[in-house]
């Protein structure tokens, strides 16, 4: 059997060209959606993307599910498989007052050896839907919802469409396999656009960004998920041998690998610094481009978490402070009756515009 040396070399050149384009476009997505610092124009990006699409179409043997071209999703409906979590995905205990935060701190100090020094990591509590991402050899291989904490739905195809989720990692030092968890959310701008589209086609309006994000993540058509403008912040690194004994430092390292990690996380030395952080964000949250519904407080030192342990449902080393639900009195201007595609009639209130939860509310579905 003869081997066509020239053809082999040509294929190798094409493969290198495809890989270079993928790396370039992945980096552009990272600069734009994670660092918020684009290096090229949208037009230049689109030209490069079309070039890659053409090469991949002509050379299907080089298909890669983590290619930037796959972020548009597929029109095929796919059912979700249930997959067991490697590490249980527990929820956090909630608290609603300064007194309960102080009680939490007192419990921590009681459980630890007397005189043990430690700090807390204080994070924004994103109001979205939890996600667990698994990477192998720097590539995204699986995305699972929380589910029942032991098993979750495999929503990898939908998560691949979220442009702030790295399909391929950057930097150095990331392990062969690890898990990272975070929150998928819908920014206010995406939510307003989606409700405007629903208004135009006579569909009921969505109640809030959290429900909209959850619905988009669980749609069985990833092409639909790709159009929803979802975002993803990561806040918890899991592996057998973590880079450091500090949660705060580990997340800084994760950021260097290409993950979108909030810049608003701080370390607190004592309970008064935690309270100050809570009070600041209780007011400042309305200036964020997405919803938060509280603050998460975690013991920063990883080795102490084993000492503190878990209850049946929650870790003892972390707690979530929930802000009071926001309310506003608004003037009802009129009511429209929308007919959806299935023929169901839904009354919709037209309201005097009110600023609520970071968005301007002008219309609301009257379900009851």
Given a contact cutoff of 8 angstroms between Cβ atoms, the answer to whether 25 and 251 are in contact is no
Angle of CA points 154, 159, 161, to nearest 5°: 140
What the block records as the tokens of 219 is 């749609």
State the helix-helix crossing angle for 271-284 and 98-111, rounded to 10 degrees: 150
Tell which residue, 255, 232, 260, has the closest CA to residue 174.
255
The burial of 113, by beta-carbon neighbours within 10 Å (0-12 exposed, 13-18 middle, 19 or more buried), is given as exposed
Of 54, 84, 86, 125, the active-site residue reads: 125
Given a contact cutoff of 8 angstroms between Cβ atoms, the answer to whether 161 and 71 are in contact is yes
What the block records as the tokens of 136 is 């192998």
List, edge to edge, every strand of the sheet that includes 120-126: 94-95, 318-322, 292-299, 120-126, 266-268
Residue that has been written with the tokens 């006579």 in this structure: 202
Q: Is 125 a catalytic residue?
A: yes
* Residues tagged active-site: 125
């Amino acid at each position: 059997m003869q081997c066509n040396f020239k053809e082999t070399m040509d294929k190798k050149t094409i493969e290198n060209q495809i890989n270079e384009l993928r790396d370039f476009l992945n980096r552009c997505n990272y600069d734009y959606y994670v660092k918020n610092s684009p290096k090229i124009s949208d037009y230049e990006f689109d030209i490069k993307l079309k070039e890659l699409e053409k090469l991949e179409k002509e050379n299907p043997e080089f298909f890669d599910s983590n290619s930037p071209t796959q972020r548009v999703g597929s029109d095929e409906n796919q059912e979700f498989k249930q997959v067991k979590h490697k590490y249980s995905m527990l929820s956090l205990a909630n608290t609603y007052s300064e007194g309960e935060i102080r009680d939490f701190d007192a419990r921590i100090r009681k459980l630890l050896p007397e005189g043990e020094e430690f700090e807390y990591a204080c994070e924004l509590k994103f109001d979205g839907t939890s996600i667990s991402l698994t990477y192998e050899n720097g590539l995204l291989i699986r995305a699972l919802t929380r589910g029942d904490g032991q098993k979750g739905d495999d929503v990898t195809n939908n998560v691949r469409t979220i442009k702030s989720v790295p399909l391929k990692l950057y930097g150095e030092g990331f392990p062969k396999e690890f898990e990272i968890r975070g929150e998928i959310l819908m920014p206010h701008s995406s939510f307003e656009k989606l409700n405007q589209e629903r208004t135009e086609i006579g569909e009921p309006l969505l109640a809030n960004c959290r429900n909209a994000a959850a619905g988009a993540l669980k749609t069985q058509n990833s092409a639909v998920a790709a159009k929803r403008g979802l975002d993803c912040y990561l806040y918890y690194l899991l592996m057998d041998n973590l880079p450091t004994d500090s949660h705060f430092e580990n997340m800084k390292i994760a950021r260097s690998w290409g993950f979108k990690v909030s810049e608003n996380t701080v370390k607190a030395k004592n309970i008064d610094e935690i309270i100050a952080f809570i009070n600041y964000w209780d007011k400042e949250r309305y200036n964020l481009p997405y919803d938060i519904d509280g603050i998460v407080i975690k013991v920063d030192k990883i080795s102490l978490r084993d000492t503190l342990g878990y209850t049946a449902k929650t870790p003892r080393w972390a707690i979530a402070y929930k802000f009071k639900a926001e309310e506003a009195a608004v003037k009802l201007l009129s009511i429209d009756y929308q007919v959806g595609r299935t023929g169901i009639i839904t009354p919709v209130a037209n309201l005097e515009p009110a600023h609520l939860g970071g968005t301007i509310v002008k219309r609301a579905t009257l379900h009851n």
